[in-house]
């Protein structure tokens, strides 16, 4: 489960307020689909937000009639301009469909090093999005971050110095974290990652592989 409680609480608060980047919002939504651990907390935050809005003084809307007319005459539903079109329902969390697609079959996986593959999904709202596939029992190179990294476990699990993460768990890492995630034995680990900022390999093996992972 998540060990960085403060970082996770801030993430959930941002999700409830709708202030996260599109891929981070999707990641948290997928977490809530896969795990019931924080659903009650997010529901409480959303309810609190609704109460705050209902207690707020009304603000006059300039040219109200024209604004309402423009809204109701537009048949196109609201969408994030940076998000691909939604895909059909699949076993993947529905929140990830617009980024990953309806299946992982046929995705362009690239081998980073023995036992580790990555599928880059592009940059959205200034964040790099990707899927990581680590063979059971294999380790990622030791690394830290010039920014933040959110990792949602979709399949299997992994362990690092901060704890053990399984399907539905979110790991939060930043520049204060230097870790070496190791996939659980018995099942390959697949994760959805959202990264803001550059990743820096820190171990001797990782530094040797760094030129091949760019």
CA distance 82 to 47: 28
Per residue in 88-102, pLDDT (tens digit) is 333 799 999 999 987
Nearest one of 169, 29, 191 to 95, comparing CA atoms: 29
CATH number of residue 68's parent domain: 2.60.120.10
Domain count, the chain: 1
pLDDT of the residue at 154:
96
Largest CA distance in the chain: 65
pLDDT of the residue at 4:
56
CA distance 190 to 103: 13
Which residue reads 């999005």 in tokens?
129
Token output for 111: 């081998």
Q: How far is CA 140 from the centre of its chain?
A: 18
CA distance 14 to 22: 11
Q: How far is CA 1 from the centre of its chain?
A: 15
Rounded to the nearest 10°, the torsion over CA 81, 90, 167, 32 is 50
CA distance 55 to 49: 10
Q: What letter would DSSP give residue 13?
A: H
- For residue 24, give the H/E element and its range: helix 22-34
pLDDT of the residue at 177:
60
pLDDT of the residue at 169:
96
Q: Give the residues of the chain that fall short of pLDDT 50.
A: 1-2, 51-56, 58-64, 67-68, 70-90, 206-214
pLDDT of the residue at 160:
85
pLDDT of the residue at 70:
45
Three-state SS for 150?
strand
**Domain span including residue 4:** 1-214
pLDDT of the residue at 57:
54
pLDDT of the residue at 191:
95
Q: Give percent helix, percent strand, percent coil of the chain, each to the nearest 5.
A: 30, 30, 40
pLDDT of the residue at 152:
97
């Amino acid at each position: 489960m998540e060990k960085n409680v403060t970082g996770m609480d801030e993430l959930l608060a941002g999700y409830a307020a709708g202030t996260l980047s599109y891929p981070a919002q999707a990641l948290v939504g997928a977490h809530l689909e896969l795990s019931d651990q924080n659903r009650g907390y997010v529901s409480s935050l959303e309810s609190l937000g609704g109460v705050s809005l209902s207690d707020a003084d009304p603000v006059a809307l300039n040219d109200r009639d024209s604004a309402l007319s423009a809204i109701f005459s537009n048949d196109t539903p609201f969408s994030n301009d940076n998000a691909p079109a939604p895909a059909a329902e699949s076993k993947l969390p529905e929140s990830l469909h617009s980024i990953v697609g309806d299946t992982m079959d046929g995705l362009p996986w690239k081998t980073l090093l023995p036992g580790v593959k990555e599928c880059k999904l592009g940059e959205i709202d200034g964040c790099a999005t990707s899927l990581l596939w680590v063979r059971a029992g294999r380790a990622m190179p030791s690394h830290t971050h010039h920014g933040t990294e959110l990792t949602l476990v979709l399949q299997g699990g992994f362990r690092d110095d901060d704890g053990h993460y399984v399907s539905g768990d979110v790991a939060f890492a930043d520049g204060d974290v230097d870790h070496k995630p190791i996939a659980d034995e018995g099942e390959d680990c697949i994760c959805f990652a959202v990264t803001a900022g550059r990743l820096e390999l820190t171990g001797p093996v990782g530094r040797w592989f760094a030129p091949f992972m760019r």
